[in-house]
Amino acid sequence: MSRKGALIVIEGIDGAGKSTQAKSLLRKLRAKGFRAVYFREPSRGKWGRELKRMARRAGSLTPEQELELFLKDRRENVEKNVRPALAAGKIIVLDRYYFSTIAYQGAKGLDGDRIRRLNERFAPKPDLVFILDIKAGEGLARISGRKTKDVLFERESYLAKVRRIFLSFRGARFVHIDACRDKRDIARQIYNKAMLILAKKPSYS
């Protein structure tokens, strides 16, 4: 394999605390002297910005059109950010990746296996995927602000489906974490597991 770096992904439903944990991991890795970078999806590129715009107009895209846009955004993120950082031997902390597409677009009725196949054609497989787990209602309560009850109810039942798909991911690369625990405990657990995996990679051991 030509890749020298490592790809660590943080996933979870809205309100699970992904960004906080991703940034905390990044800080800890850098403090240890690792060259670590942070990226997120949707990205800050043109497709990511388009997705953010569309998200404000709920229901304006079909699930298939959404999938297409997330794939375009991911292709751009992989080519511009992920592959160059891996080739340079950096550790990438990635806030959402194609597991979000399997879960969120899968929860809208698209076939999860097909979504996975479409992604794995071009997207490098991560070394580690942390899934921060929280009940849909609790995640929403953390972030909901002033949204109306109707909007929240619809969102909650959707996120409950998304959560079930996230919970179904199994395998050596996946680590499920209870996102309701103390933030610092979660950060320690993530960092310790990341160090274990890095120690097994020839470029870091």
- The one-letter amino acid code at 53 reads R
Tokens for 100? 């979000």
CB of 201 to ligand TYD, least distance (A): 25
Q: Is 14 in the site for ligand TYD (CB under 6 A)?
A: yes
Residue range at the interface with ligand TYD (CB under 6 A); choices 20-28, 94-102, 175-183, 190-198: 94-102
Which distant-in-sequence residues (6+ apart) come within 8 Å of 134 by Cβ?
Answer: 12, 13, 15, 16, 17, 142, 163, 178, 179, 180
Q: Which of residues 100-159 bind ligand TYD (CB under 6 A)?
A: 100-101, 104-105
Taking CB under 6 A as the criterion, the residue among 41, 155, 166, 187 binding ligand TYD is 41
CB of 124 to ligand TYD, least distance (A): 16
Q: What are phi and psi of 124, to 5 degrees?
A: -60, 145
Taking CB under 6 A as the criterion, the residue among 39, 70, 130, 166 binding ligand TYD is 70
Q: Is 96 in the site for ligand TYD (CB under 6 A)?
A: yes
DSSP 148-200: -HHHHHHHHHHHHHHHHHHHH--STTEEEEETTS-HHHHHHHHHHHHHHHHHT
- Cβ proximity to ligand TYD: between 158 and 204 the closer is 158
Task: Provide the CB-side half-sphere exposure for 36 (13 A, CA).
Answer: 24
| Residues near ligand TYD, by CB under 6 A | 14, 41-42, 70, 96, 100-101, 104-105
